[in-house]
Chains A and B, each alone.
Chain A
Amino acid sequence: MLKRALAIITLLIIGYWLAQGLAGVPFGEDRMLVGQYYLDHVKEQTGAVNAVTAVVVNYRGFDTLGEVTVLFIASTGVGALLWRRKKERTAKTEGSIVLTTGTRLLVPFVMLFGAYIFIHGHLTPGGGFPGGATIATAFLLLYMAFIVYEIPHKAFEKVEGAVGMTYVIVGLIGLAIGGYFLYDWIWQDWQWGAENIGRLFSGGFIPVIYTIIGLKVGTELSGIIDNMVKEEVSE
């Protein structure tokens, strides 16, 4: 009880301190310095309608590359921690008939919606990370409904590595053409889709990058799920 009381008192002190700090922040006031620049120039500079994805992929593309790297390291770490010579699924009960039939019906829709999210990242909310997570949810559904289901490992690992490499290669092509890493050569030099901003075939390389990120996140999270589900079996 003493420990708990001490913890609560410490937390209250820290919370009060943070609230004091936050009281000086002008919430709701028009104090945007760089934000107004993004909002004013996002269409002509990137061709995207969604300012968030333009910032994430175009203006601050290096951060996104770092996030993808973090996710890759997490996936690799889970794989390394749970590595066993022989792993199999040990679930004994199949999902109920309602669950299996519903999964059969639902999985294509979930995957289609995930692909929709990451392809339309420059037009609608979303982008690569929610799209990839939605696709991984479809694989999670398959794992939970069927006792024998396994993702095709060879194909998944190859796709994961290939799309990760493609992201860096797209950035390096920008380095070769425009002079800095992740330079948007499709938009800046080719002017591809410049006359139909707001439609699917626009947005410079944002749809390309987001398709890459969506595939990468989807395969990686599916791999993490696969590692978590399977257990060691004695030979």
Chain B
Amino acid sequence: MNCITCIEYIIVGIMIISAILAVEWRDLLAAAVGMAAVSLFASLLFFMLQAPDVAMTEAAIGAALSAAIFIFAIKRTQRFETEEEEKPGWWVRW
């Protein structure tokens, strides 16, 4: 395994971790940051797979603009998910 493959495995690993964290975090602002991190590492991966056009578009749209738009939407709604899972009763959870 050479160095490039090693770095690619690391990037894919960080991407998977950020994706899991982005859906796990209850703080939606943190989840938006996780989503932006997924975009950033996807952009790096596109660059390493020698697609600079796609990498630039992904960085400009995914990491900057969509994260900003998510944050604006969170600002106008609410920041935290409601804690329904801690409530008693299975009918609430489903």
State the A residues within 8 Å of B (CB): 3, 50, 52-53, 117, 125-127, 129-130, 133-134, 136-137, 140, 144, 221, 224-225, 228-229, 231
Interface of A is mostly: helix
- Among B57, B59, B60, B93, which residue has the most Cβ atoms of chain A within 10 A? B60
Let me know if A228 and B69 touch, CB within 8 A. yes
- Contact A225 to B69, CB < 8 A, known contacts A3-B93, A129-B61, A137-B64: yes
Once the chains are docked, how many angstroms separate the CA of A101 from the CA of B69?
23
State the B residues within 8 Å of A (CB): 52-53, 55-57, 59-61, 64-65, 68-69, 72-73, 76, 93-94
Once the chains are docked, how many angstroms separate the CA of A144 from the CA of B73?
14
State the total of A-B contacts with C-beta under 8 angstroms: 49
Let me know if B53 and A127 touch, CB within 8 A. yes
Q: Can you list 17 residue pairs at the A/B interface with Cβ under 8 Å?
A: A3-B93, A52-B53, A117-B56, A125-B53, A125-B55, A126-B53, A129-B57, A130-B61, A133-B57, A133-B60, A140-B64, A140-B65, A140-B68, A225-B69, A228-B69, A229-B72, A231-B76
- Smallest Cβ-Cβ distance to B55: which chain A residue: A125
Let me know if B60 and A134 touch, CB within 8 A. yes
What's the nearest-Cβ distance from chain B to residue A211, in Å? 17
